[in-house]
Structure formats: structure tokens, C-alpha cells
A and B are shown apart, each in its own frame.
Chain A
Amino acid sequence: MSVLTLVIEGQDVAGPAGRTILQVARENGVAIPTLCHLEGLSDVGACRLCMVEVEGQRKLLPACVTTIEEGMQVTVNSDRLTAYRRRIVELLFTERNHVCSVCVADRNCELQDLSVEFGVTHFDLPQLHPKATVDATHERFGIDHNRCILCTRCVRVCDEVEGAHTWDVMGRGTEARIITDLGTPWGQSATCTSCGKCVQVCPTGALFEKGRSVGEARRRRPYLPYLVAREGRAR
């Protein structure tokens, strides 16, 4: 396979053809923030945090799904990109009812980490305060839609790794919800194998193990045989 050379954040790097900007950047120690991406799962380019500037391209490109090209000049951090990323974090916080102080994932949350990284100490936009439900019908796990950011990692891990495809998405826009089995309660799901992979990949406290209190969610990603969560982010 041919090896391509390119410049990411002023650094000369190389990678085999077919790899994404995100992969090559991270291999070379250049950090690009992500939320919907998880190594081992397919990429959907939905969170838009990994948008980068590529010289000669009018539009910003998502690093997770853009493959590298010879001679590419990639800018990962600029004032504009930082402002956009900060805004995305803000939009996610205002969309549902995120209250860190009572969340099972407090200090174990990728969304919270990003808010620290981008200094989201307050919101300029109003909270939407949607009515969201909690499904606690499953024996061991629960889903709190108030904390869901629709990254669809659970949908993909269930489909691509476990092969059950219990999870999917229903509805449009801010009304979109993660559902189990055509919208039946999780506890009555005929397809769920109770493997818990969805809980392990959830970046926030939306999917949780029962019996854990505030800040007690500990993601055990290394237990997943096919997934290698990024060090540092998973903790």
C-alpha cells in the first residue's frame, strides 16, 4: 500500500493511503477532539467536533471520515475552529437536561471533559429544557434521555460488535431519541443480550449501570474485546 505524506498542524507526517486525517493525527500526537468517534466502530461524522481546515478546500472537513491525500495541509486548531467546537459543546449542553452535580458520570464524562477543555463555564444560549424520560425497565442497566447527546455509539456497538442491533434512532431533529426494539421498553427487548457494551461506550451518563451513585460510573472499555478506547479520554 502506498504511503502518503502530508502536513498536520505544521508537522510533516506520513500514513498509508486510506487512513483518515484523525487516525494519522492521533498516531502523530496531534489531538483532535471527538465525541461520536470511537475506535473500533464505524464513523458517522455526526458530532462535527473534529472539523479541520484543509488548504484549498472551501469547506471544513470532518477528520474522522476524510481520508488523507498526498501533500494535504491540515490545520487542526485555529480561532475559528476553537470557536465552533466551543459552540458545539454549548449546543449539546443546552439541548437536554445535563446536571453534572447529580450525574452518575460526573468526572467520567467526555462531554464534561470537553467543556473544561474549551472553557465552557457559562452558556450564551438558553436551555431548551425538553421533556425527556428515563427507561429503567432493564434489570441491570438504565437509559436517561436527559443526558443523551445522540452520538449513536451505542447503536453502532450493538450492531457492529455485539450483532444484536437492539438500539436505533427514532424521530427527527431535537425530538430524536435512542430507542430499543422499535420503541418498546428496554426491559422487554427481545434482542438485547444484556452484554452492556452500550453502557461502556456511552460518552455521558445517559447509559448507566444500576446501583451506581453520583460520579460512580466507571467505563471499563478495555474489557470490550474489539474496542480500544482512547487513553486519557476513557480514564
Chain B
Amino acid sequence: MTEMGGATPARRRRQEPLIPDGPVRASADVCQAAGCLSMQSDAVFESLCERVTACGLTDVAVRRVGCLGLCAAGPLVAVPERERLFDHVTAGDDASLDAVVTALSGGEGGRPIASDPFFSHQVKVVLEHCGRIDPERVEDYVAAGGYEALTKVVTTMTPAEVLAEVTHSGLRGRGGAGYPTGLKWTTVAKADSADGKYVVCNGDEGDPGAFMDRSVLESSPQQVLEGMAIAGYAVGASHGYVYVRAEYPLAVKRLTTAIRQAERAGLLGQRVADSSFSFEVQLRIGAGAFVCGEETALIASIEGGRGTPRPRPPYPAASGLWGKPTLINNVETFSSVAAIINRGAAWYQAIGTGRSRGTKVFALAGSVVNTGLIEVPLGLSLREIVFDIGGGLPGGGRFKAVQTGGPSGGCMPEELLDMPVSYESLAEAGSIMGSGGMIVMDQGTCMVDVAKFFMDFCREESCGKCVPCRVGTTQMHGLLDRITRGLASREDLAELEDLAGMVRETSLCGLGQGAPNPVFSTLRYFRDEYLAHIDDRVCPAGVCKIEPAEAVAPVAEASR
């Protein structure tokens, strides 16, 4: 190997945020969540630091923060003191950097946050700290009021009081099924266990188009840990696991940092906040199986086994991780807890509608102007979410449907746009709340093709344990494929509906039971599209490739 000339380039260290010693007049908060990072927002951060130093602005901070929400317009920089947001800021674009520096020094520019409908319709509870703190600095979280709830809980409240508070808040599981959180916590708290209980955080987010948990874990990991610790205190557990999928390396990195920093600060681990309560959190990384988001499969995976679900009961609350009572909640559920403790159950209960209280985070994706992460009070209508917050469809596209609930959810047509979003209304409309993915579709989308896409997903992600899901989803996908190719008959459609009903009723876990949902909901609202493929051999949206007429031949009846 030849000797390299000059000094060997040292590995560059992570540039520290620029924080002045004295009072801060204004700060530039650069989004460092996965979306903006993929557009080199780390370079934006460094360029801004250089520029601010070069301009001699000594009372101005440049910080890294989590997700600022408006992912479609990244890289994003916020100047919270001026309530301004700068979009499409790039390191190579001097004008965009100058605009930020001008605002920092007191000038105008950028888009106003307060009057922007994308922000003004939102209520931030889970996302309270997202985009406001540096996710890799526990000091930032504590300065923003973090760990006050945990300290309050372990020093002034009994576990029963915590359980009552969470129960009264009306919080329901944000992973999708909406099981009352207080009831789940109380069940685990009541379970007898001489040798320990566990708290597990489900961060195995896998629905296509969903990135809520990812953003929360990347933007405010301490908030999740605080919620878990409060849960641990309430149910009597001293060990917790966070299960995050391996496809989220940034979330894994920030969680690892967060756990280390919180332990060092005495906020996790032995004697939390100098009390007698101890709570240790370990990280477990998934290996790419969607089904591991199902709680019993997740438990099997943490235990080191093959990630397959088992029949319930017994529920994890009675017999979970290593046979011990286990509390499993989603990332978002845990993230709501600290705010409920801080501001009280009545405050949380006052937000929302009917039996769906509080706020819900949605990942807006698909054919919508403001792709991004939003948090809204439950009860807001789909129209407000898609058109007011989402800004409608780009390029004058016409709305066709919005898909919620991922592969177990459904597609809602234009007629339902004024429906308030709640667990009950979505279920009634043939979809589910799900974890919070919301995909907007325009007229150029073929609904049969959408159903086929989700069926293909379920077919591939089925663990293979139970027969209806393993073979049923494969056969349904085959039938949908025949329809999209113009090869199907009315009998095939009847067969599809029959099979879908059977798979829903007989599958072992939620993956199989929910897999027929996209088929049912598209048949319910867009049956004419199915019939156009079958009777007229036409794809109304012009998406599907219809096979030439000579390919159409009756299926030869198979015999064994």
C-alpha cells in the first residue's frame, strides 16, 4: 500500500449544535428525521452553522431537531421564535440558506406557521416535542418538560392513581385495534406474578405508507421511554423491551442513545429519579417480518423464536413474554402517557369524539400535496384531513379514495369524506383506524389493483402457520390477478368473495383476519370497477394490462 501524502483525513465527528452561552434571540431548527436526512439535511445543518458563525451572529442557535411534519417540502428548517418555516432548504442553494439567516437576524421570509392550515388544524400531544428538541440530547427533552411526568408519578402517585388517570383519559391502543389502554394496564397490574412482569413497546411498524412510529422514535425517543417507565410503575414491572424493526436504523440509533443518556441521567435504570422504583429498558430489533407486529408473534421474536403468532387466549396480559404477565402497547400509545399525567385525564378526555378520545397521528401519503406527519383530534372529518391539512391533490387531480389501516384496512370513497374519523366510524365504513397510515388516491388509481397490491403484501407476509391465511391469501391474490388481467368470470368474483369470508373468519391472527378487508371495502364501494374488468374487460382507470381476447379461456377444472 502506498503512503498517502499529507495528513490522513480524520473521521469527521458529529458537528455539535451551535448554542450560544448567553440568551438565544432566535434558533434555526434543522429537521434531522429520515425524510429530510435523505435529502441531505445534515449538510444543511453544517452549512447553516458555518454561515451563522461567518455572519458573526453570536446570539443565534442552530440545532438539530426531529420531524417538522411537512415531509413533502423538505429539507425543512424552522425558526420557532419567528414562527416561520423554510422549505426546500439545500446546502448548495445559497438563496435558501440566506433566507434562513435573514430571518435569524430579525428579517422576514419563509412561510408563516401559525396561519398555515397544515399546522393550524393540528393538535399536538404525541408530536408535542417532535421538531422542537434534539432527539439525541436528553437535556433538550428535560428542558422541554420531559420526565416531569415520570418524576411526579414515582414520587407522588400510587400505581392505582396512575391506572385511574390513564383509564379516565379514555386513551385507546394506537396500534390499530383501539383496546382501552387503562383496561389493559389494569389487567396487567392485577395479574399475579412472583417473578416479574414486562412492559413491551411495539415499534414494528410495517403498514405500507405508514411512518408514524418511525417519526416519533426518531424525533422524541425519550418520550416513548418515559411512557414505558410510567407504565412499568403502574403495572409493577421493572423491565421493558422496545421492539423496533431493523429497517429503521436511525430510530434504533437514537433509541440506543436515548436509553444510555436516560440511564446516565438517573431517569431510567436503578432508582428512577431517586425513588425506589427501577426500570430497565432493552432494545430488540426485528428481522423484517411484518407479522411480528402482532403481539404474540412479537413476544416469540423477543424470546428468540420464530416470529409466528399463537392463539389467544391466553392474552399477553395473563401470559406473555417468557410466560409472565406482559403489557404491550404501541409507540404512539406510550408517547401519549406523559402528557396525560402532566395535564390530567380530563384535559385529554376533552379532546375527541364519542368513544374515541384524544388525538391520533396520521402519516399522510399518496396523491396529496402536503405529504407528511400530522396529529389531529379524533372526530375531524376525512375532508378536513385530506383537503385542509393535506392541501388536496396535486396538479388538480380528482379525489377517488383514501385508504386507512394498511393491509387490514379499507378504501373510503368520496361519499364518506365528511365522515368524522374515529375507531367506530371507520369500522362501520368497512375499514379500521389501524396504526395511522392514510393513503390518498386519485382517479388514476384502479381499486382492483389496490386490492391486489395489499393482497400481494399479505400473501408475502403471511407467516405460513395457519392454512386459511397461508393458502387463502395466495389464492385470493391469484383471483384478483385474473380479474386485473381481464381473464376472470363472474364465478371467479363469487369465489373471491366466498374465500375472503372464510379467510376472515378462520385465520389465526389479525394478519389473516384482516387480509380480506381491502377486497371487501373495494367491492363495497367500487364494485362497478370489478365488473368492468370482468364483463367489459376494461380497466376504467387505465392501470391494468388487460390480456388480448384469445387468452380468455375457461379454467380447466383441476382434478386430483
Contacts and interface: CB of A to CB of B under 8 A. Distances in A.
B495 A124 contact: yes
B558 A94 contact: yes
Interface string A158-185: 0000000000110111111000000000
Q: What class of interface size applies to chain A in its complex with B? A: 35 or more
A83 interface: yes
Given A48-B466, A48-B508, A172-B289, A100 B306 contact: no
A46 B466 contact: yes
B276 interface: no
A98 B560 CA distance: 7
A172 B463 contact: yes
B309 to A, nearest CB: 10
B459 A88 contact: no
Interface string A125-166: 111100000000000000000000110000000000000000
B388 interface: no
Contacts of B472: 91
Given A44-B310, A92-B467, A173 B474 contact: yes
Contact of B499 (A87, A93, A123): A87
Question: DSSP class of B's interface residues: helix, strand, loop or mixed?
Answer: helix
Nearest to A176: B464
Contact of B459 (A84, A125, A173): A173
Interface in B421-441: none
A133 to B, nearest CB: 17
A168 B460 contact: no
Interface in B464-517: 464-468, 470-475, 478, 495, 498-499, 502, 505-508
25 contacts: A44-B465, A45-B310, A48-B506, A51-B505, A51-B506, A60-B505, A60-B506, A87-B502, A88-B506, A91-B472, A98-B560, A124-B495, A125-B499, A126-B475, A126-B555, A128-B471, A150-B470, A168-B306, A172-B460, A173-B459, A173-B464, A173-B470, A173-B474, A174-B470, A174-B474
Given A60-B505, A83-B502, A169-B306, A176 B560 contact: no
Contact of B560 (A51, A99, A173): A99
Contact of B505 (A84, A125, A169): A84
A47 interface: yes
A172 B474 contact: no
Contacts of A150: 464-465, 470
A174 B505 CA distance: 20
Contacts of A84: 502, 505-506
Interface of B: 289, 291, 306, 310-311, 459-468, 470-475, 478, 495, 498-499, 502, 505-508, 555, 557-560
Nearest to B513: A59
A91 B467 contact: yes
Given A48-B466, A169-B306, 11 more contacts: A44-B310, A45-B466, A48-B507, A65-B311, A83-B502, A88-B468, A88-B506, A91-B475, A122-B558, A123-B558, A175-B464
Contacts of A123: 557-560
A94 B475 contact: yes
A95 interface: yes
Question: DSSP class of A's interface residues: helix, strand, loop or mixed?
Answer: loop
B146 to A, nearest CB: 39
Interface of A: 44-48, 51, 59-60, 62, 65-66, 83-84, 87-88, 91-95, 98-100, 122-128, 149-150, 168-169, 171-176
B468 A176 contact: no
Contacts of B558: 94, 122-123, 126-127
Contacts of B459: 173-174
Contacts of A126: 475, 478, 555, 558
A124 B498 CA distance: 11
A45 B306 contact: no
Nearest to A150: B464
Given A91-B475, A172-B289, A173-B459, A46 B468 contact: no
Nearest to B559: A122
A173 B460 contact: yes
Q: Quick one: which of B555, B559, B560 has the most chain A CB within 10 A?
A: B560
Given A51-B506, A125-B495, A174-B464, A100 B560 contact: yes
Q: Quick one: which of B289, B468, B473, B555 has the most chain A CB within 10 A?
A: B468
A91 B468 contact: yes
A9 B379 CA distance: 45
Contacts of B311: 44-45, 62, 65-66
